[in-house]
Structure 1
Amino acid sequence: MFILLNKIGSWTTSQKIASSFASVIFIGSLLLSLPISQLSTSNATYIDNLFSAVSMVCVTGLFTESIADSYTLFGQIICMLLIQVGGLGLMTLIAYFITQLSKNKIGFRNKLAVQEGINRGDAKDFRTYIGTIMKYTAIIEGTGMVLLSFYFVPVFGFAKGLFISMFLSISAFCNAGFDTMGNSSLIEYAHNPGINLVIAALIILGGIGFSVWFDVTNLFHATAKMKQKPPLMRRLRSLTLHTRLAILMTIGLLVGGTLLFLIFEYTNDASIGTFSFGDKVLASFFHTVTMRTAGFASLDYSTITPISMFMSVVTMFIGGSPGGTAGGMKTTTFAIVFIMIYNEIRGQSNVNLFNHTIPKNVVRQALIIFVALLTTLTVGTSLLLLFNPGTNPLFLLFEAVSALATVGVSANVTASLDTPSLIVDMFLMFAGRIGPITLVDSLIRKNKAVKDIAYTKGSIIIG
C-alpha cells in the first residue's frame, strides 16, 4: 500500500485528475449495479450503469435508462453523490478534508492537481479558498432546495418532495441535468416560471466559476464599507479582467441565445409556437441557459428547427466559464480566440481586452484548447456517423457535442445507440470533463530528456 501511495504521489497533475475521475466512475458503476440500488422492474445492465456513472461524474446528463425507472432510493442517493463529487472534483473534496478537518497540509504536487482541477492559477490562501468553495456550494444548493421545495413538496409529499428538490438543486448547480421524476426531464414544468428560474439561477451560478463568485463578493463587501459610494462603472473596473470577461460573455450569450431561439422557434408549433408570449420567452431563456452545459430540457429537442439545433451546437461547444462546474470550450477561451482572429484580420498582432494585453502564452493555450476540442468533436461525430448510418446526422452532431461539452441534452438518440456508440459517448464525456489536453497528457509518458530546441527560422507558405 505504501509503495502504491508513493507511486501515485509521483504521478503528474494530469494523471491524478484523470485517475481520480476514472476511479469514482468505476466505483459508482459497481455501486449502481448492486441489488440494493436496482428496482425490481429495472432493465439497466452494467453498461447502462457504467454509462450513467460516467455521465454523472462528468456532470453531463445523458442516460440510457432513467434514474426514476432504474434505481431505488439508495441508488438515487449514490447518483446524487456521484454528481456532487463530479461537479466539485474528487481532488477538491480530498483537499478540503485534508486541509479543513485535520492538521495535515496538502502536498505541493496534490495542491497543483487541485489548482488545475478548479482552474486556479496560484496557491495563495489555498486552505481558505477551498473551504469557501465548499461553504458557497452548500449555501447555494441549500437555498435552491428550499425554493424548489415550495413547488415539489405539495405535489409529492414532504419526504419525497424534499428529496426531489435536493436532487434537482445539486444536479442544477453541478450543471448535471439529471432528475428523479421520469424520462422527460422538466418538459412537464415548461410553463412554471418558479421552477424554471430557480433551476436557471443554479445553473448560471455553478457554471460561471468559483473565482467570479469571490471577486464579486469581495467587491460588494468593499463597497459596503465605503462611506461614499463611487460610480458603478468605477466599481466594476475594480473586478479582475477574468471576472469582467466571464460576466460579459455570460450575459451576451444568454441574451443573444434567448433572442435567436425565440425568433427561430416563434411559429414552430412542435416546440413553442402554441405557447403564450411570456412562456415563449421563458422557454427560450431556459433553453439557452441549459444549453450552456446543464442538460435539463423543458422541450423535446427532436422537434426544434434545424437552425435552432445548429445554434444550440455552437452554444454547447462554447459552454460555461472556467473554474466552475460547467464544460465546453469555456467563455473566456472562446473570447480570446475570437479576438485573436478578429485582430489578425485587422493586422494587429496583440490580443487586447479592456485596456490589457493578453500574454501570448495564454492566447496560445486558448488556441490549443479550441483545436483539441474541435478535433475530439470531429473524431467523435465521425464515429457516431459510422456506427449509426440511418440516424439524422444533425442529431448525431447534437449528441456528440452534448457529450463532449458535458451538456447532456439529446434529440431522443441516446437510448437507441448500440454499445460501440455508447463507448464513444462515454469517451467524449470523460474527455470533455477533464479536458482533451489533460486526458492526452495523462496517457503520454514524459521523456525528461526532451528539450525545447530552437533551430534557424524556416519559412512555409500557408493559406
Structure 2
Amino acid sequence: MLKKFSGWSVSQKIATSFAFVIFTGSILLTLPISQLPTSNATYFDNLFTAISMVCVTGLFTESVHDSYTIFGQVVGMALMQIGGLGLMTLIASVITRLKGRMGLKNRLAVQEGINRGDARGFREYLSDILKYTAVIELTGFLLLSIRFVPEMGWSLGLFTSLFLAISAFCNAGFDPMGNVSLVDYVHDPLVNYVITSLIILGGIGFSVWFDVSKSVKCYFGKKCRPSLKVFFRGLSLHSRLAIGVSLVIILVGLVFFVAVEYNNPNSIGTFTFPQKLMAGYFQTVTMRTAGFATIDYTTVYPFTLFWFVLTMFVGGSPGGTAGGLKTTTFAIIFLTLYNELRGQSNVNIANHTISRQQVRQAFVIFMALLGTLILGTSVLSILNPEVDFIYILFEAVSALATVGVSANLTPTLGELSQAVIMVLMFAGRIGPITMLDSLVRRTQKVHDVEFSKGTILIG
C-alpha cells in the first residue's frame, strides 16, 4: 500500500493524507473513552467534528464541551494541530530530523502542502516551522493561563488555555467551554488580544514568519539599522503583500463593522466606544478563517453578515493555517483588474512584474473557489428553502473558507445538508483544484495544442 501511495500524484497524496487523519480521528472520537456519559453525538457527528478539526474550520453539530471527555478533547487538539500543519509536513519533519531521505515526489507533495516554491533549505525550513509553532503556542498558552487558571483552577485552567492556544494558532475556532464560543469574554482585553494575535500569526504564513524574523534579527543585531520604511522594503515581495493586504482588510473591516453596528442594541450598541473597537477588531480578525466569536452573529445587520462573507472569502495568507482565496491571490486579481482599467498590460507590484502564469493561476483559483461556493450554496438553498439566503451563504462561505463562524445554523440542518458542509470544509482545506485533481484519473498526456487565432466578442 505504501509503495502504491508513493506513486500517486501530489494532489492525491495531499487529499489522502487529510482523509486518513479525518477517518482515524472520527474513530478515536467515537470510542467510549472519548465520549461523555451524557453525550448525544453519533458517529456522523464525530465524523463531522473530525473533518472540521482537521480542516481547521470550527463548525460542529455537537459541541466539544457537551460531547467529549478530556481524552476526546486531547484527540481534538491533536487533530487540529495535524490539520493546521498538515500530516505530510509533520511526517517529513520527523524523517528529515532522523537524517532520513525523502523521494522527490514526496518532497514535492510536502512543498505543495506548505505552499513552498523551492526545495532550498528544506530540512531547516520544516524544522523551523515546528520550532516557531511550539514557541508561539506556548506563549499563547502561558498568557491565557493568566485568565483561566484563577477562574477555573489549575488543571482545568491550564488545559483550557492549551486547547485555546492550539485552536487559535491553527485557526480552528474550537473551544472546550460551551456552545457560545468566547461571547462571555467580549470585554476581556487579555483573551481578545491573545486570541487575535495567535490567529494572525497562524494565518499570515510560515514564510512570512521567517522573513520578518530574519529582518528583525538583522535590525536588533546592529548589522543593519534602517528606518521602519526601509525595514519593510527589505522584506520579500510576498511578505510585504501578505502583511499589507492583511492590515488593509483588518482596518477596513474594523471601520465597517463599528460604523454599521454602532447603534445596534442587539450586538454592540450598548458597549462603550473602546469596547466597540475591541469587539470590531476581534470579529474582523476571526473572519480571516479563525472561527471564534465574541458576539452572536444572528443579532447583526444583514450588511454586516454580507461584509463578513466577503472577508471570509478572501481569507488568510498562503503557506499558513488559514483558508480562503488568500490575500496574495486576491491582490493579484485586484491589481490585474486595476491595471486593465488603466490600459496597463502587465501586473506590477512595488517595482516588480508578476508573471502571466501566476496571474492565470490566481484567476483559476478564484474561479474554482467561487464555483465551489456557488454550487454548495445552491444545494444548501434547495435543501433548506425556509432559511434566509444570507444565513445559507454565510454558513457555506464559513465552511469553504475554513472559518467556522456560525449563525447557529449548522446544528439545525439535516444530515444531507451537513454532508454538503463537510464536503465544503474538505475542499476548502486542501483546495478545490487539488480535490478535483485527486479524483480525476489521467489516462493520457495532454498536449498543449495551438490552433489559428479565433475572435470572440467580449462584454
Matched residues in 1 for 2:334 and 2:438: separation? 29
Asked if residue 320 in structure 1 is aligned to residue 320 in structure 2, the reply is no
Matched residues in 1 for 2:279 and 2:24: separation? 37
Asked if residue 231 in structure 1 is aligned to residue 227 in structure 2, the reply is yes
Q: Which amino acid aligns with 1:182?
A: G
Equivalent in the alignment of 2:15? 18
Q: Is the 8 A contact 2:218 2:224 kept in 1?
A: no
Q: 2:150 aligns with which of 151, 154, 179?
A: 154
Equivalent in the alignment of 1:92? 89
Instruction: Say which SS state the counterpart of residue 341 (structure 1) adopts.
Output: helix
Cα deviation per residue 1:387-413 (whole Å; 9 max; x = unaligned)? 001011100000000000000011110
Cα deviation per residue 1:346-400 (whole Å; 9 max; x = unaligned)? 2111110001100000000000000000000000000110000101110000000
Q: 1:66 aligns with which of 47, 59, 63?
A: 63
Shift in Å at residue 345 of structure 1? 1.5
Unaligned runs of at least 5 residues, structure 2: none
Matched residues in 1 for 2:225 and 2:231: separation? 9
Equivalent in the alignment of 1:107? 103
Asked if residue 135 in structure 1 is aligned to residue 105 in structure 2, the reply is no
Cα deviation per residue 1:406-461 (whole Å; 9 max; x = unaligned)? 00011110110101100100000000000000001111112343211111111111
Asked if residue 391 in structure 1 is aligned to residue 379 in structure 2, the reply is no
Q: 1:421 aligns with which of 417, 423, 426?
A: 417
Q: 1:299 aligns with which of 295, 301, 321?
A: 295
Q: 2:46 aligns with which of 45, 49, 54?
A: 49
The RMSD of aligned alpha carbons is: 0.8
Q: Which amino acid aligns with 1:21?
A: F
Instruction: Say which SS state the counterpart of residue 36 (structure 1) adopts.
Output: helix
Matched residues in 2 for 1:5 and 1:78: separation? 25
Matched residues in 2 for 1:115 and 1:334: separation? 22
Cα deviation per residue 1:160-211 (whole Å; 9 max; x = unaligned)? 1000000000000000000000000000000101100000000000000000
Equivalent residue pairs, number: 459
Equivalent in the alignment of 2:330? 334
Q: Is the 8 A contact 2:309 2:397 kept in 1?
A: yes
Equivalent in the alignment of 1:252? 248
Q: 1:345 aligns with which of 315, 318, 341?
A: 341
Shift in Å at residue 223 of structure 1? 2.0
Matched residues in 2 for 1:228 and 1:384: separation? 55
Instruction: Say which SS state the counterpart of residue 352 (structure 1) adopts.
Output: strand
Instruction: Say which SS state the counterpart of residue 229 (structure 1) adopts.
Output: coil
Matched residues in 1 for 2:312 and 2:2: separation? 38
Shift in Å at residue 227 of structure 1? 5.3
What is the correspondence of 1:284-295 to structure 2 with a 5 Å cutoff? Answer: 284-295=280-291
Unaligned runs of at least 5 residues, structure 1: none
What is the correspondence of 1:383-462 to structure 2 with a 5 Å cutoff? Answer: 383-462=379-458
Q: Which amino acid aligns with 2:458?
A: I
Asked if residue 31 in structure 1 is aligned to residue 33 in structure 2, the reply is no
With 102-111 and 305-314 compared, the bigger mean Cα shift is at 102-111
Matched residues in 2 for 1:400 and 1:7: separation? 35
Shift in Å at residue 129 of structure 1? 0.2
With 340-349 and 205-214 compared, the bigger mean Cα shift is at 340-349
TM-score (norm 1): 0.98
Equivalent in the alignment of 2:187? 191
Asked if residue 75 in structure 1 is aligned to residue 72 in structure 2, the reply is yes
Equivalent in the alignment of 2:170? 174
TM-score (norm 2): 0.99
Shift in Å at residue 228 of structure 1? 6.0
Matched residues in 2 for 1:449 and 1:336: separation? 30
Cα deviation per residue 1:221-260 (whole Å; 9 max; x = unaligned)? 1223335622322222111000000010011011110010
Q: Which amino acid aligns with 1:93?
A: L
Cα deviation per residue 1:39-76 (whole Å; 9 max; x = unaligned)? 01000011100000000000000001000000011101
Q: Which amino acid aligns with 1:161?
A: G
Q: Which amino acid aligns with 1:365?
A: Q
Matched residues in 2 for 1:449 and 1:87: separation? 34
Q: Which amino acid aligns with 1:121?
A: G
Q: 1:282 aligns with which of 278, 283, 286?
A: 278
Segments of 4+ in structure 1 off by > 6 A?
Answer: none
Matched residues in 2 for 1:366 and 1:228: separation? 35
